[in-house]
Amino acid sequence: MEIKCLKLNDLTESVCENNFKVRYMLPNETAEFINRKNKVIHEHDVILRSSHRTRVICPIFYECGGCDFLHIKYDEQLRMKTDFIYKLVERNNIKTNILPIISSESPLNYRHKIVASATTKNKKLKLGLYQENSKNILPYVNCHIQDKDLERLIEHLLFNAFYYSNPQSNITISVQNKTRRLVVSDEGIGMTSETIINILKGPYRSEEAMKFNEKGSGLGLQFVKDIVRKLEANLQIDSVVGHGSKISIQFS
């Protein structure tokens, strides 16, 4: 069935003829509608393309719920969002002076929010992003909107906690927005104060760590330390042998 988009409704919903609603179409585009559960129009479904459409660079864009505008050129995104604000203000009879949107130097890697999720399957750590409207975790990919340093930071912290914990133990991630603090806690083998000092000096693995898990290079927390320094944050490691570790990152 061929459909034509007439307008966008609240930025993310595409309204077609006969009030038929889909996702990821732009006004005046036509597409071949394939009856998918989430009514998503993929790039290859589009027959007549808008000049504002751009190539989607993320392989899981149509499944992931992380962002909505990767298929739209950045200047058009700004125009759409500005128009949306004007209509919102007008609809609610608000009298105010709306300032222009300040564009970002880079339309990618801007999000300072960690949205990575993790689970274990067959004793292996699966790190990824939640599928839209689902608790399924999509395989981890290079997210194009998240800040790269934060992305690598959470990745190293999670893998490090996983490698040195038993499969049945808990790994907890908490983000304290008011204090700008990220904490990753595990119930793993823990570390002595001497081990912590050696880790912070450079690549290091204790005998206990090597006995518990042969995998690893001793570089995980070293990478964490380097990223924390780059972000001008503070790193604190608290650990008790046999009970686990708590790694805290305090952002300025």
In this structure, which topology does domain 147-250 adopt according to CATH? Heat Shock Protein 90 (3.30.565)
Beta bridge partners, 129, equal 138
Give the integer Cα–Cα distance in Å for 25 and 156.
37
Residue 248 CB burial class (10 angstroms; 0-12, 13-18, ≥19): middle
3-state secondary structure 78-134: HHHHHHHHHHHHHHCCCCCCCCCCCCCCCCCCCECCCCCEEEEECCEEEEEEEECCC
pLDDT band at 3 (very low <50, low <70, confident <90, very high): very high
User: Is 238 strand, coil or helix?
Assistant: strand
* CATH of the domain spanning 2-80: 2.40.50
- Asked whether the beta carbons of 147 and 111 are under 8 A apart, the reply is yes
Which parts of 11-166 fold into alpha helices (H)? 74-91, 148-163
pLDDT of residue 73: 95
The domain limits of the chain are 2-80, 147-250
State residue 160's pLDDT score: 85
Q: How many Å separate Cα 206 from the centre of its chain?
A: 32
Q: What is the mean pLDDT of the chain?
A: 84
- Helical residues (DSSP H) of 168-247, grouped into ranges: 193-201, 207-212, 220-230
- Residue whose structure tokens are 């934060």: 150
**Residue 67 to residue 18: CA distance in whole angstroms:** 27
Say what percent of the chain tops pLDDT 90. 31
Q: Which amino acid is at 69?
A: F
Phi, psi of 123 (to 5 degrees): 65, 20
Section 47-63 average pLDDT: 91
Whole-prediction pTM: 0.65
Report the DSSP beta bridge partners of residue 237: 247
- What does residue 171 show for φ and ψ, rounded to 5 degrees? -120, 125
Q: Which residues pair with 210 in a beta bridge?
A: none
Element (H, E) at 138: strand 137-139
- Give me the phi and psi of 124, to 5 degrees please: -120, 140
Binned at pLDDT 50, 70 and 90, residue 145 comes out as confident
The model's confidence at residue 241, banded by pLDDT at 50, 70 and 90, is: very high
